Amino acid sequence: MENCEIVKNSSECIYELHEEFIKNIKLSNAIYGISSIYHPDYPLMFLKLAKSGKNIRLILTERVFNKVKEKNPKELSEYLELDNAKMYVVKDTKLAMVISDRFLYLSLYFKNGVYDVGEFLISYDKSALMWGEELFDYYLKKSKEIDKI
């Protein structure tokens, strides 16, 4: 990937969603995500984005999906009822990625298996967006669609 930037969360705010991520996701029209992490802000955020008319497709690991089902059943149920919002479950992956018509956001794990909450890659380059779409399609083929809980 070319023209990527490493963005760091400030040390006192590592568990908050980064303002660059929030700004870009709000400006996007089509949003595709893969997540092996649960963030308490994600369910409501993606529900609001879907309700605003954005096309959203999310792939979650089984563990993350079960956590959302347990902690956010109302948001999950509302999300699944929307025509422009799709959810899929994949057995396992070790990444968090959002790809949109605007940007690529990618966060990975360290070699020791611990998720890196402090840094992520962001790119607006067309080649990075294409790479992200290909990666999303790869995981989509390995996933099962969820249409109700």
How do residues 59-101 score in pLDDT, each as one tens digit? 999 999 999 999 999 999 999 999 999 999 999 888 889 999 9
Name the residue range of residue 125's domain.
4-146
CA distance 78 to 113: 33
Q: What confidence score (pLDDT) does residue 14 get?
A: 47
Short-list 36, 55, 68, 29, CA closest to 146? 68
The CATH number covering residue 112 comes to 3.30.870.10
Q: What are phi and psi of 31, to 5 degrees?
A: -130, 125
Widest CA span in the chain: 40
Distance (Å) of CA 117 to CA 44, 72, 76:
20, 22, 24
Domain count within the chain: 1
